[in-house]
Structure 1
Amino acid sequence: MEEGTPITHIDRERLYEKVWSSPMSHLAREYGVASQRLKDLCVQAKIPTPPAGHWTRVAAGKSVIRPPLPEAARDASIVIIAPSPSCNKTSSQPARVEADGRKAKSATKSIPGPKQKSSAKSAPYLSVPTQLRNPHRIIAAWLEEHQRSRENARRSTLPGLAPTPFTSVDRRRQRILDTLFKAIEKAGGKAIEEDRKKLAIELEGEAIPIQLREKNRQIRRSLTEDEKRWSWNAGKDWKLELQPTGKLVFEIKRYLPRDFRQDWLETDEVTLEACLPEIFNTLTRAAPLLALETQKRRERERLARIAEHERYLAEQARKRDDNQWQRFLEVADNWQRHERARHFLQALKQLDLDPDIMIGERSLGEWLVWVERRLTTGNPLNQGIDTLFADIEKVTNYTYSQQHKHW
């Protein structure tokens, strides 16, 4: 929000919809006021606001309760939001930073020294101390592990077990992370250490992986006499090697929405300590947007699963319909065979036959009676049409094998 933001007149209904569609901190920046001021205006206008943890539950896909907008007096249907001068000042710098986006890779291109100092003063709890006191639990665990390794190395007779001593860059890295972690947790977030000491910031239910490391540069180093004798270095006088620069780089290892910066490389003019307020603002401002993106993605996935299930049910219904039709055709074929057998029996009866002739254990007349009985019991029409379709109704999509040819 830039200076000179106009006063906003907005309907209660419209403000009610916006309050329940976006975090209060986002709307506060949009209107140039503090979050608490915007919430007080909603209370005065009898507009219910989301409770604490609402957006975290939304991001997690949990159900939330949205109270209805109560009626208000006719003369109170418009809410007037007057921007706060202090909010306009503090929000102007992040706007300039976002405008630079990823075009500026070093801290000097987006945060000149004098302006960064004023930003650090505006957020004193982000001031990095010169000494580490009462370290954050993650930093404390690192220090304890390093101390245990040193003690184990002293007790061991095996060489090479002692851990590498912390450098001045290591100490700076610990202090910067300690300051950032504590600030994030004051803002309602949490610092997370994942496998292999990978770090992440959790805000609004979103885990944002981060990395703070020393920047290396690639240099040409002349080969030693011993290295020149190695076969794979035949004909070579130098090799490429990474060398520490003593400069720190902070990286956000997750894709952020458009215009958010992802990395900060300190220079001789601006240290990473001076960039910490911008890093903090980027994380806290990007987290709600990431939570909304996660919510939309989960909704898309849920709708996709519903559509896939509906397609599955439709396919099962189609298979069952095909199998029921197959059963009907089988009954029709059976009836047609009975009709042919009945005509054949009538033709046999027209012949001049002696019914008393014995054929096996039956006489010819008994054989004719047996044929008539089978024609009667096996004719599908004699079982009744309701029995016919009741039999077809029992057919499922698993009644016939997949290789059976459908009609």
Structure 2
Amino acid sequence: MLPDQLTRRAMYDLVWSKPMTKIAAELGISDVALKKICDRHRIPTPGRGYWARKESGQPVKQVRFYATADPADEQIVIHGPPAPRSPAVREAIEDHRKRHVVRPSRPKPIEFEPVEPVRIIHPSIARTAQALRRAKPGPDGAVSASGEGECGIEVGITSVERVIRILDALARALEARDLALHAEGRLMRTGIGRDTLTFALIERTETRPHIPTDAELAEEERRLRRNERNARLGLWEYGQKRAYPETDTMRTGELGIRITDQYVTGARRVWKDGKTQRLENLIEEIADGMLLYLAGVKARREEHERWQQEWRLQEQRRALARAREEREKRRQEFVGRLAAAAAEISQLEGFLERMQPKRPGCPGEVARMLAWAESRIRVLQASLEPQGVAAALAEQKLFPEADDLADPPRDGADPA
């Protein structure tokens, strides 16, 4: 006997029509296996006590049915021994077999007209062209050229010759404007002097639900049956994955060029295929756009340099102000020491003048004190001599002829 097949909707209607123990018995499986099937196919089921409350007349709530995006969830295959079935179960199974849901075909990527291969390739992209033509496509049908001296391209195998033609035309258009295309492994670069920009050629991709093949569905069914058998034996496996991916990444063949850095306000940085235009027809516009973009990069750099220069000037002025403040303190201390010396001379001279009449008969200690006072006056007077003061001032740079701590003049202003 063939295994029973139902749709998710049919199974949903069954499990909400009567207790799952009765439905499981009619299908020839256990109620635990039926619950696992419903969970695996994301079918809501009645909770514990639902049927008891319903039979007693209490209000109950039925969980709403929702469709899923995965076609594999729509097919439910039940393997069980032959058993008598109720009319409702037989009707649901027969209805499914009559209508038998047909899986949709795999979506195809957008097709572009074939492109004649470029024979004479611009030297800046020759290594990229060689790598793309020799590359073997990966699982998603993409090839890449992102090694040393290559342009950082990853596109579908069917777009290779079109990409080479676009890169060749762009390299020649940039060369006509005195710009060079530099392949740098993961990106491309062009520039004028110190001002550069990086850009990339990219292909738009789409993520679509994976449509499993018959072989994948059979493998998934075998995996589920193996898990059920292991569960009955108390063997649990963790980290298992479905036999096929949830989604596929589709290469659309739609290409675009994007400037990837040096954001310039108001300048265009993306060119791509559209409904009525192709990237090949935008090459001259792209080259002109990059030239304009570089002018914006230059203006941005010059503005940044002006800002840096002004910041450095302000920092210099602040440092000079701190140095002048420190010098002013040292000036005050220097003049204060000279004033203190002059005041001390006046005090000592007044003292000696007062003691002079009594000096002939003074004891030895007093005489020696007076002699010291006279010596002290000579030392202090020597420290106030203009030549000595000038030498000390020059050494400490307190009053230089050319003030090296004066603020620098601003651009266009005469120095004070």
TM-score (norm 2): 0.47
TM-score under structure 1 length normalisation: 0.47
Bigger RCO (CA 8 Å, 6+ sep): 1
